[in-house]
Structures are given as structure tokens and as C-alpha cells.
């Protein structure tokens, strides 16, 4: 008898967004006759960033965007180059391939990108809205806030896999679901845990030191998630959190790390966003649906964010 687990590829999931985005680019040809312009800044010699850049170029051009890679040989000139792109009315979106300095200066650079052009959704205003479960930028609820693209990609994957229950009201569609997120970086893991908890899930956020629980409380009584420390990381505590988990999401940046298959609840959904394979081949003996990589959906979210920024700026100009 064959195993019931099924692998779902990000390319298949991103297809629906590729169609949506391509037709939106066509629909705004009156204001962007040559396609919206995305500028990527590469200031490191990381071959992974180089590959991601060439892949962004191909994907965005296929959908009718223009993409320009700007290589910055001297890292200290990057800030000026970003400011110049912020001011240039030809540029619709800006992204930077990190790490650049590999320290807190990178967080500073994230805030240098104008929020009106921040396709990755890294601006503090967007982060704070997300953590506080505020979904619009204006009090009239006409300008949607932007979400960081990798956490957003995982949300869209969970929607595709029908973990989100669309019979429930929007904002509560993960009510009753338990999720584990292994990674608590400020780029992916912590915002992701917050997004899922804000949508109603109980989320166990695991990092190398400890495990935390993110929830909106009993009966979703809170408007935004609260965080509780569960204790130091141990395999026993992880096992306990996973025993009822409907979803397990991993993002450990290490080739040797493998999530323990024996901790996966039978029929759980497993998603890996790390560039390393965090699940070994036994995952499908437990998982119902398994998504081994998420990058293709992330890039769709990046381009979708860019269209939303253009839409917001048009609404702002002609309310
Ligand atoms: P990071 O180094 O900033 O964070 C790693 C996180 O994993 C930390 O919270 C750390 O505590 C945790 N961790 C490490 N080892 C662990 C262990 N053994 N057990 C539990 N937790 C552990 O990295 P990052 O920027 O979050 O990126 C993580 C991975 O995701 C990388 O492989 C990166 O390439 C990938 N990534 C993918 C996308 C995408 O779109 N698919 C986007 C961004 C990053």
C-alpha cells in the first residue's frame, strides 16, 4: 500500500498568483506602459544571493515587470544608492540582498528603503502593524498594509493547503489549529508566528534557546497575539508541543539539522522555508501534505506587494 502523504511544490502554489499578478500588470499599463520597475541591490559576493537575484529577474520579467540589478562594489556606498532610488520616480520597488554587513547595520539599511517602495515589507511601520494585527495604513481602511514576503508566502501556502478554514470569518480562519514554527528570526520566524496567532492559531515558536507560545487567548478574546515563555528548549518540550500540532514549519539554516520525524503528528502538514532540507525523506511516513521549499511563492508575494504599493500610491494621489 502506498503512503498517503503528498508532496506539494511551491511552483504549483505560486501558479495562481502568477496569473493574478500578470493580469494586474496588464491592467495598469496606462500608468506603467513599460511595466513597473523593481530595483535589486547586491552588495555582497554570496552566490546564493546572486542566484536569487537572477531568479527574481527572470520571474519578474516573465510577468511584465522591469528588473534592474544594481551591483554595489563598496558596501559603504549602498546607503546613498538606496536614497537615490527612493527619490527616483521611475523606481517602483526596491529590494536589498542581505546580509550586507551581517550585523545591526543591516537592520538600519532596511529602514533606509522608503516604505512606499519597500516590496519586502521590512519597514518598521509595516512590522508594527503586523505585530499589532492592524491590517490597514489609514483610518478609512482603504490602504492595505504590507506584510513581510516570506511569512506572507507561508500564510498563502497554508491557505492553498486548506489549513485556513474559509467558512470562518476573515481574521479567525486558523481558530482551533495548532502550529509549530522552528525559527524565531526577525525576518521570518517571529513575524510568521505572530501572523498565524493573529489569525487564531495556537503557535509554538521554537528557537535554539527556548520555546514560546503565541495565542490570542481562550476563545480568541484578545485582538492581537500574546506571548508566553514555556521554558528552555528540550526535545521533550518540543515533542509535547508537536503531539497535537496540525502544522509544522521549519526554517533552520543548517545542512545537518533534521526535524525529528517521530515528533510529527500523523497527518500533520509540514512546510520547510529554509534553504536547507530540514525534513528527511521519512517525513512522508507521517505528514499528510509536505512542502519542501517556499521560495517561488515568496517571489510572487514580493511582486504582489509591489503592485499593492503602486495601488496605494495611486489611491493616495487620487483618493
Ligand atoms: P537566522 O539565522 O536569522 O535565524 C535562524 C533561526 O533558527 C533562529 O531563530 C535560531 O534560533 C533558529 N534555530 C537555529 N538552529 C535551531 C535548532 N537546532 N533548533 C531550533 N531552532 C533553531 O536565519 P533566517 O534569516 O531566519 O533564515 C533561515 C533560513 O530561511 C535560511 O536558510 C534562509 O536562507 C531561509 N530563508 C528563506 C526564505 C524563503 O523565501 N524561502 C526567505 C528568507 C530566508
Distance CA 175, CA 168 (A): 8
Nearest-CA residue for ligand 1 atom 35 is 274
Task: Report the separation in Å between the CA atom of 252 and the middle of ligand 1, taken as the mean of its atom positions.
Answer: 4
Q: Which of 14, 104, 252, 279 to mutate to test the pocket of ligand 1 (most atoms within 8 A of CB)?
A: 252
> What pLDDT, in 10s, does the model give residues 81-90?
999 999 999 9
With a cut of 90, say whether residue 40 has pLDDT above it.
Answer: yes
Nearest-CA residue for ligand 1 atom 36 is 274
Task: Work out the number of other CB atoms within 10 angstroms of the CB of residue 281.
Answer: 9
pLDDT on residue 315: 87
The residues pairing with 66 across neighbouring beta strands, listed in sequence order, are 37
pLDDT on residue 4: 85
> What pLDDT, in 10s, does the model give residues 196-235?
999 999 999 999 999 999 999 999 999 999 999 999 999 9
Could you tell me the fold of the domain covering 12-116+297-317? Rossmann fold (3.40.50)
When the pLDDT of each residue in the chain is averaged and rounded to a whole number, the result is 95
Model confidence at 319, pLDDT cuts 50, 70, 90, reads: confident
User: DSSP letter at 123?
Assistant: S
With a cut of 80, say whether residue 3 has pLDDT above it.
Answer: no
Q: In the annotation, is 263 catalytic? A: no
Model confidence at 125, pLDDT cuts 50, 70, 90, reads: very high
Sign of the dihedral through C-alpha 303, 309, 314, 319: positive
Distance CA 191, CA 282 (A): 29
Q: What is the DSSP string of 31-51?
A: T-TT--EEEEEE-S--HHHHH
Task: Report the separation in Å between the CA atom of 238 and the middle of ligand 1, taken as the mean of its atom positions.
Answer: 17
Which candidate in 149, 179, 241, 242 is catalytic?
A: 149
Distance CA 301, CA 307 (A): 10
Domain 150-295 CATH superfamily: NAD(P)-binding Rossmann-like Domain (3.40.50.720)
Indicate which atom in ligand 1 lies nearest the CA of residue 184.
9
Q: Cβ contacts of residue 17 below 8 Å, gap of 6+?
A: 156, 297, 300, 301, 304
> What pLDDT, in 10s, does the model give residues 276-309?
999 999 999 999 999 999 999 999 999 999 999 9
> ipTM score of the complex?
0.96
Distance CA 194, CA 245 (A): 16
Ligand 1 pocket: which residues have CB below 6 Å? 150, 182-185, 187-189, 206-208, 251-254, 257, 273-276, 294-295, 298
Exposure of 182 in the CB half-sphere (CA atoms within 13 A): 31
Model confidence at 189, pLDDT cuts 50, 70, 90, reads: very high
Sign of the dihedral through C-alpha 199, 130, 302, 139: positive
Q: Which of 13, 104, 188 to mutate to test the pocket of ligand 1 (most atoms within 8 A of CB)?
A: 188
Task: Report the separation in Å between the CA atom of 78 and the middle of ligand 1, taken as the mean of its atom positions.
Answer: 25
Phi, psi of 78 (to 5 degrees): -60, -45
The full set of domain ranges for the chain reads 12-116+297-317, 150-295
Pairing of strands 202-206, 210-215: antiparallel
Mean pLDDT, range 149-171, rounded to an integer: 97
Mean pLDDT, range 138-164, rounded to an integer: 96
With a cut of 80, say whether residue 161 has pLDDT above it.
Answer: yes
Task: Report the separation in Å between the CA atom of 253 and the middle of ligand 1, taken as the mean of its atom positions.
Answer: 5
Model confidence at 1, pLDDT cuts 50, 70, 90, reads: low
Same fold, 12-116+297-317 and 150-295: yes
Amino acid at each position: 500500500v502506498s503512503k498517503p502523504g503528498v508532496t506539494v511544490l511551491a511552483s504549483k502554489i505560486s501558479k495562481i498568483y502568477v496569473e493574478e499578478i500578470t493580469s494586474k500588470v496588464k491592467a495598469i499599463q496606462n500608468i506603467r506602459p513599460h511595466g513597473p520597475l523593481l530595483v535589486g541591490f547586491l552588495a555582497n559576493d554570496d552566490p546564493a544571493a546572486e542566484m536569487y537575484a537572477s531568479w527574481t529577474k527572470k520571474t519578474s520579467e516573465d510577468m511584465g515587470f522591469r528588473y534592474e540589478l544594481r551591483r554595489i562594489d563598496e558596501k559603504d556606498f549602498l546607503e546613498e544608492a538606496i536614497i537615490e532610488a527612493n527619490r527616483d520616480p521611475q523606481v517602483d520597488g526596491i529590494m536589498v540582498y542581505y546580509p550586507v554587513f551581517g550585523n545591526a547595520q543591516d537592520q538600519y539599511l532596511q529602514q533606509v528603503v522608503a516604505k512606499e517602495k519597500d516590496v519586502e515589507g521590512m519597514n518598521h511601520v509595516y512590522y508594527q502593524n503586523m505585530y499589532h494585527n492592524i491590517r490597514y495604513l489609514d483610518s478609512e481602511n482603504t490602504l492595505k498594509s504590507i506584510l513581510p514576503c516570506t511569512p506572507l508566502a507561508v500564510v498563502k501556502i497554508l491557505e492553498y493547503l486548506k489549513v485556513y478554514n474559509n467558512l470562518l470569518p476573515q481574521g479567525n480562519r486558523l481558530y482551533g489549529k495548532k502550529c509549530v514554527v522552528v525559527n524565531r528570526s526577525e525576518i521570518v520566524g517571529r513575524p510568521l508566528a505572530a501572523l498565524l496567532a493573529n489569525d487564531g492559531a495556537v503557535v509554538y515558536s521554537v528557537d535554539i534557546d527556548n520555546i514560546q507560545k503565541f495565542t490570542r487567548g481562550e476563545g480568541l478574546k484578545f485582538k492581537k497575539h500574546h506571548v508566553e515563555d514555556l521554558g528552555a528548549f528540550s526535545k521533550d518540550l518540543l515533542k509535547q508541543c508537536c503531539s497535537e500540532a496540525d502544522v509544522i514549519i521549519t526554517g533552520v539554516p543548517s545542512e545537518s539539522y533534521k526535524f525529528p520525524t517521530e515528533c510529527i503528528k500523523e497527518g500533520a502538514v509540514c512546510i520547510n522555508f529554509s534553504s536547507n532540507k530540514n525534513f528527511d525523506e521519512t517525513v512522508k511516513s507521517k505528514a499528510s501534505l509536505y512542502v519542501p521549499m517556499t521560495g517561488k511563492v515568496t517571489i510572487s508575494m514580493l511582486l504582489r506587494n509591489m503592485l499593492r504599493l503602486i495601488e496605494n500610491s495611486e489611491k493616495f494621489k487620487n483618493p
